Amino acid sequence: MQTGHELFVHGLNDMMDAERQLVEALGELAGDSSREDLKTAFEQHRRETEEQVRRLEQCFKLLGETPEDTECHGIRGLVAEKKAFSEEDPSEDLVDVFNVGAAIKAESYEICEYESLVDMAREMKHTKVAQLLNRNLKEEKATLKKMEGFSDKVKPNEMMNEEQRQQAASSSKSSGSRRAA
When the beta carbons of 17 and 96 are compared against Fe ion, the nearer one is 17
- Min dist. Cβ of residue 88 to Fe ion (A): 27
Q: What is the rounded distance in angstroms from the CA atom of residue 8 to the CA atom of residue 4?
A: 6
Q: What is the rounded distance in angstroms from the CA atom of residue 106 to the CA atom of residue 161?
A: 30
- Min dist. Cβ of residue 33 to Fe ion (A): 18
125-164: which residues touch Fe ion (CB under 5 A)? none
Question: How is residue 66 annotated by DSSP?
Answer: -
- Min dist. Cβ of residue 149 to Fe ion (A): 18
* Count of residues that bind Fe ion according to CB under 5 A: 3
88-117: which residues touch Fe ion (CB under 5 A)? 110
When the beta carbons of 52 and 99 are compared against Fe ion, the nearer one is 52
When the beta carbons of 56 and 154 are compared against Fe ion, the nearer one is 56
When the beta carbons of 49 and 99 are compared against Fe ion, the nearer one is 49
Neighbouring residues of 115: CB distance < 8 A, sequence distance ≥ 6:
137
- Min dist. Cβ of residue 52 to Fe ion (A): 5
Per-residue contact string for residues 48-77; x = within reach of Fe ion by CB under 5 A = -x--x-------------------------
Q: Which amino acid is at 84?
A: A
Write phi, then psi, for 160 (nearest 5 degrees). -130, 160
Binding residues for Fe ion (CB under 5 A): 49, 52, 110
